[in-house]
Amino acid sequence: MAIILGGMVPRPPWKYRLLAAIHAHRNAGDPGADPLVRRAAEGLVAATSRVVFGVEKPGWITSGASEGNLLALYTLREEGYRRVVAFDTSHYSIKKSALMLSMELDILPTHEGRPRLDLLERRITPDSVVVATVGTTQEGLVDPVGEIAGVAGSVGAAVHVDAAYGGYIARFLTGKARFRLEPPVMTVVVDAHKIPEAPPPAGVILASKQKLLDNLWFESPYIPTGRQFGILGTRPGGPIVAAWRRVEDLDRNPGFPRLASILMRRLKKTLKALERLGYETPVTPDLPVACATHPRLEEALERLKASGVRVYRCPRYNGVRIVMMPSTRPKTYMKHLAFD
């Protein structure tokens, strides 16, 4: 297996890979036909909601935030919101989803990766869905969800939160991620195959009210349940079973608040070590994701490519992405990003 630097979907711990393999034959696309899958799906949603918000909210499983973002924008479109207002740090799946749904898309520039609320106030309309990100892909920043919700609420607009990376840990690290899943914040997506390191694909969409989820169930009269959720017909059940167990295990030990602290300490240690090698961090992150730049970076990347190491970039800053996951250690980055 190739070495990957800066990835957000690492290799899961072996016992969860085994659990996913044992249940690989199960189809989560028809939970009514498999009581274990239904129990796992409901358990994963409940555990995720408790970690992210401290309370249980309506939700269901997805294959990850790319599907989740599409579903969130679809259900909000069905509720009358026809425009998508996103920031230039939003994940590419937001643009893709807006195009697929034929929704008007307005992408707002940020200042050093931070949303400009004054610009949002000028561009937002009552039929808008504003997308806030909890853990931007290149910078590890958290958009101020509460402030964005205040702007949206003042005109009757909606807010969707893409918390694919940061959902499980962000509220323990920054006040910007402490918000309620109540209007105008309508939907949130979180990935269990990122910070929890569950086998992919495994994600969750949470909603402020059940009606938003009801829009995402589609009639399928020939299967036992009589309906299916989201885009996929056949949905891998093994990863859902494994993700349920993994999230509950991490919640007990070490606990997500402690895990958040551990990952931030590792990131700071890594960035300090890289700084001694001449790397710079153009943006100070909120979460355990950062971008590191170096005058000789292209030289390092060519060497890594030749040796079979795959590297995730942060092209906005012409740098390399540094991501801390439970299985990631600072020495991995130091080994590969050091210069001879």
Q: Are residues 225 and 283 in the same domain?
A: no
**How many structural domains does the chain have?**
2
Query: Does the predicted TM-score (pTM) go above 0.85?
Result: yes
CB 128 within 8 A of CB 154: no
Give the tens place of pLDDT for each residue, 65-78: 999 999 999 999 99
Q: Are residues 248 and 259 in the same domain?
A: no
Give the tens place of pLDDT for each residue, 296-333: 999 989 999 998 999 999 999 999 999 999 999 999 99
Q: Look at residue 180 and tell me whether its pLDDT is greater than 80.
A: yes
Q: Are residues 78 and 40 in the same domain?
A: yes
The pair of structure tokens assigned to 296 is 């000789």
Q: Are residues 95 and 161 in the same domain?
A: yes
The pLDDT assigned to 1 comes to 61
Instruction: State which residues form the domain around 307.
Output: 4-8+255-337
Q: Are residues 49 and 134 in the same domain?
A: yes
Q: What is the mean pLDDT of residues 256-279?
A: 97
Domain-terminating residue out of 236, 252, 268: 252
Give the tens place of pLDDT for each residue, 140-154: 999 999 999 999 999
Query: Average pLDDT over the chain, rounded to whole?
Result: 96
Chain mean position to CA 248 = 18
Q: Are residues 242 and 272 in the same domain?
A: no
Rounded Cα distance between 256 and 263, Å, is 10
Q: Are residues 163 and 268 in the same domain?
A: no
Q: Are residues 212 and 276 in the same domain?
A: no
Q: What is the mean pLDDT of residues 154-182?
A: 98
Domain-terminating residue out of 207, 227, 252: 252
Q: Are residues 240 and 218 in the same domain?
A: yes
Q: Are residues 246 and 262 in the same domain?
A: no
Q: Are residues 78 and 147 in the same domain?
A: yes
Q: How far is CA 314 from CA 138, 165, 189, 282, in A?
A: 5, 16, 22, 11
Q: Are residues 248 and 326 in the same domain?
A: no
Proportion of the chain above pLDDT 90, given as a percent: 92
Domain-terminating residue out of 252, 272, 289: 252
Residue 30 vs residue 55, higher pLDDT: 55
